[in-house]
């Protein structure tokens, strides 16, 4: 091919590349430098199920626009209650915990953990173990080689001729390699090469060369320790355990959050009832005082005072009702329910009123043994130890014993068309030796050992700090438990005294023996006493759940146990098996009952009797 033809071929190739630079789908075949931002419009992205009927059918309940707050708006509509026990709430939260949510104030947030994390981490074990799987290879190649050569013609004067010799070849290689946990690498391979030459005469045409080879390499220092060779597998298993305990920790926070949100809703409903009673009483007194002023039995100052008290109690009721809606919304968020479904969640489980005996030493042992984040810190140290084993092994010189044995064969067709071949084992090769190498000073590997040792020291310090923090967290929780329980007993007595005082103040005011200000103070004191009684008992029960979380036993105490399939993945058959989608293929079963379901509104536990005029007269 002359230079002119080469130029034309080059021009054609350039034109072909230019024409194909951009395909029909708009993506370039040859990518230029990226100097601009290519941002798609958000409405072009896929739509997801936030638009489903369960989320969009009902607008959120508010204080002013609600079918539930007949107290404020005077509306006559009623809402269907949804009676919900705490055990059922925990069950719903677990069923909808594909992504685990945790409570944060009046909202639920993503914990960053899902039921798939441990299964994803578990696949790393197979990745590490794959290093010890046998590897099979098979290579099959056909080739043709024809190179032009210029030769001078005999008897000519400066004339030459271009000739070419063609060689057709076939190469087939097949073999198997395997590495053991002791670092031994074994190989078995067979290779066949067939060559045919045209034109010309050779001793064998076609000629077939074949070899059968066995090889073995055994490390004697670096790479010979099975513990070091298996360290990556052990680390992968430890990381799977860590992922599991991280998930378990988030589920513990979920259960604890459900308990807190549930009891907070109970208190919010009690508080709404209390503020409603104050509102009703203040409204009753305001109307009566207005009548007394009209009959000139009282003065405008008392009416103004009762008017201010009525509006204050009304604002307190609005705030309490709004808090109830927010508490219910937080519980719905944790349970994976829509913000509104036309039903009002009505708790039916009662708060515990028995004081828990504290056994300090047992609490410390449980926290050190079962708390997931402490278990994770221990696993981190185990993984660090495996890394140290690897680095210590890498700090050794490299010395490998190698052995190889090969059987060589040759077969082909002679020019007289007779076949000729060697006998098996007639021609053999073998080699045996030891290879040694070491970096002078071993600086890099020794630095790796020091780094691994320092990491272990650091993580042990983190473990000690974690245990130190747990002890203080336990101590703080024990103090809070006692505080809330004794405050509950105090406010329980205070409520009875406040109710007696309220009745007396109302009677004294009605009989002209007292001013209305004393009645307002009595109403406020009574309401605060009832609210404080419910609040402290609620906080006591929340602290009990917090104690179980701190000791790492909240799931066991609620009968929540993990099933392996909840974190599983499709087995080795992979895409050839029946599709399995976790967790839906293995839904959770009901947890053990922990909280009694009274079948009544949970707030009825506080004996909520109205303080209206009729009830006072009955007393």
pLDDT (mean) for 521-525: 91
424 inside domain? no
44 inside domain? no
Smallest Cα–Cα separation from 279: which of 325, 318, 305? 318
- Confidence label for 483 from pLDDT (cuts 50, 70 and 90): very high
- Confidence label for 52 from pLDDT (cuts 50, 70 and 90): low
> What pLDDT, in 10s, does the model give residues 142-196?
999 888 888 888 776 678 888 888 888 999 999 999 999 999 999 999 999 998 8
404 inside domain? no
What is the secondary structure of 430-497 as a DSSP string?
EEEEEEEE--TT-HHHHHHHHHHHHHHHHHHHHHHHHHHHHHHHHHHHHHHHHHHHHHHHHHHHHHHH
The residues, any chain, with a CB within 8 Å of residue 264's CB and separated by 6 or more, are 327, 330, 538, 542
Same domain, 13 and 118: no
Same domain, 490 and 599: yes
61 inside domain? no
CA 226 to chain centre: 33
Same domain, 23 and 119: no
The residues, any chain, with a CB within 8 Å of residue 17's CB and separated by 6 or more, are 29, 30
Same domain, 116 and 3: no
Same domain, 492 and 595: yes
As a whole number of angstroms, the distance between CA 165 and CA 438 comes to 49
427 inside domain? no
pLDDT, residue 54, reads 62
Bridge partners of 459, per DSSP, are none
Contact 222, 396 (CB under 8 A): yes
As a whole number of angstroms, the distance between CA 602 and CA 596 comes to 11
Q: Region of 567 please: left (phi>0), alpha (psi -120 to 50) or beta.
A: alpha
Domain that holds residue 554: 112-123+232-380+455-618
Our CA angle for 252, 257, 260, nearest 5°, is 130
Q: Which of 68-82, 293-307, 523-537 has the highest mean pLDDT?
A: 523-537
- Any idea what DSSP says for residue 48? -
Same domain, 119 and 9: no
As a whole number of angstroms, the distance between CA 546 and CA 533 comes to 20
What is the secondary structure of 491-558 as a DSSP string?
HHHHHHHHHHHHHHHHHHHHTTSS-HHHHHHHHHHHHHHHHHHHHHHHHHHHHHHHHHHHTT-HHHHT
Provide the 3-class DSSP secondary structure of residue 592. Answer: coil
Number of structural domains, the chain?
Answer: 2
CB atoms within 10 A of CB 175: 17
Kindly report the CATH number assigned to the domain that includes residue 371. 1.20.1600.10
For the whole model, what pTM was predicted?
A: 0.82
613 inside domain? yes
Cis ω for the linkage preceding 17 (within 30 of 0): no
> What pLDDT, in 10s, does the model give residues 451-465?
999 999 999 999 999
pLDDT (mean) for 88-95: 90
| pLDDT of residue 197 exceeding 50 | yes
pLDDT, residue 202, reads 78
Contact 470, 368 (CB under 8 A): yes
Q: Which tokens hold the place of 435?
A: 């290879």
357 inside domain? yes
Same domain, 351 and 465: yes
321 inside domain? yes
Same domain, 606 and 506: yes
How would you label 393-422 residue by residue, b for 16+ Cβ within 10 Å and e otherwise?
bbbbeebbeeeeebbebebbeeeeeeeeee
């Amino acid at each position: 091919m002359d230079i002119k033809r080469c130029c034309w071929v080059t021009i054609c190739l350039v034109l072909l590349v230019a024409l194909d630079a951009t395909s029909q789908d708009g993506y370039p075949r040859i990518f230029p430098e990226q100097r601009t931002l290519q941002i798609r419009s958000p409405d072009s992205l896929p739509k997801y199920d936030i638009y489903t009927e369960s989320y969009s059918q009902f607008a959120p309940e508010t204080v002013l626009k609600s079918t539930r707050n007949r107290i404020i708006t005077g509306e006559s509509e009623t809402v269907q209650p949804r009676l919900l026990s705490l055990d059922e709430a925990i069950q719903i939260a677990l069923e909808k915990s594909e992504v685990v949510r945790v409570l944060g104030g009046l909202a639920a947030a993503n914990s960053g953990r899902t039921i798939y994390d441990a299964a994803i981490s578990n696949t790393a074990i197979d990745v590490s173990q794959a290093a010890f799987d046998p590897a099979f290879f098979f290579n099959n190649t056909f080739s043709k080689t024809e190179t032009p050569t210029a030769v001078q013609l005999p008897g000519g004067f400066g004339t030459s001729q271009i000739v070419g010799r063609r060689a057709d070849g076939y190469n087939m290689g097949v073999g198997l390699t395997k590495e053991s946990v002791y670092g031994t690498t074994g190989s078995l391979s067979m290779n066949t090469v067939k060559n045919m030459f045209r034109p010309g005469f050779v001793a064998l045409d076609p000629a077939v060369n074949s070899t059968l080879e066995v090889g073995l390499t055994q490390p004697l220092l670096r790479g010979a320790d099975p513990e070091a060779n298996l360290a990556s597998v052990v680390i992968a298993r430890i990381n799977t355990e860590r992922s599991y305990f991280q998930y378990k920790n988030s589920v513990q926070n979920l259960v604890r959050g459900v308990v807190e949100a549930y009891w907070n809703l109970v208190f919010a409903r009690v508080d709404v009832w209390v503020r409603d009673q104050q509102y009703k009483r203040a409204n009753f007194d305001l109307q009566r005082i207005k009548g007394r002023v009209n009959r000139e039995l009282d003065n405008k100052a008392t009416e103004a005072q009762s008017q201010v008290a009525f509006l204050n109690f009304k604002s307190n009721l609005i705030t309490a009702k709004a808090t109830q809606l927010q508490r219910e919304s937080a519980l719905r968020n944790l349970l994976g329910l829509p913000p509104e479904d036309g039903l009002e969640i009505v708790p039916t489980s009662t708060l515990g009123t028995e004081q828990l005996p504290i056994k300090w030493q047992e609490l410390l042992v449980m926290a050190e043994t079962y708390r997931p984040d402490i278990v994770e810190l221990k696993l981190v140290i185990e993984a660090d130890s495996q890394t140290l084993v690897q680095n210590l092994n890498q700090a050794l010189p490299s010395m490998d014993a190698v052995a190889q044995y090969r059987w060589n064969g040759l077969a082909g067709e002679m020019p007289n068309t007779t076949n000729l071949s060697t006998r098996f084992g007639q021609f053999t090769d073998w080699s045996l030796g030891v290879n040694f190498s070491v970096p002078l000073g071993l600086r890099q590997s020794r630095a790796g050992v020091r780094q691994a040792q320092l990491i272990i020291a650091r993580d042990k310090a983190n473990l000690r700090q974690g245990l130190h923090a747990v002890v203080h967290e336990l101590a703080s929780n024990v103090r809070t438990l006692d505080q809330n329980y004794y405050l509950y007993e105090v406010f329980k007595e205070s409520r009875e005294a406040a109710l007696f005082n309220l009745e007396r103040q109302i009677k004294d005011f009605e009989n002209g023996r007292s001013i209305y200000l004393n009645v307002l103070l009595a109403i406020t004191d009574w309401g605060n006493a009832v609210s404080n009684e419910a609040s402290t008992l609620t906080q006591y029960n929340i602290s009990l759940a917090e104690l179980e979380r701190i000791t790492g036993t909240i799931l066991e105490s609620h009968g929540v146990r993990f099933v392996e399939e909840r974190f599983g993945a499709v087995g080795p058959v992979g895409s050839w098996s029946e599709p399995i989608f976790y967790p839906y293929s293995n839904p959770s079963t009901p947890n053990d009952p922990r909280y009694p379901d009274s079948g009544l509104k949970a707030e009825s536990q506080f004996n909520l009797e109205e303080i209206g005029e009729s009830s006072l007269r009955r007393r």
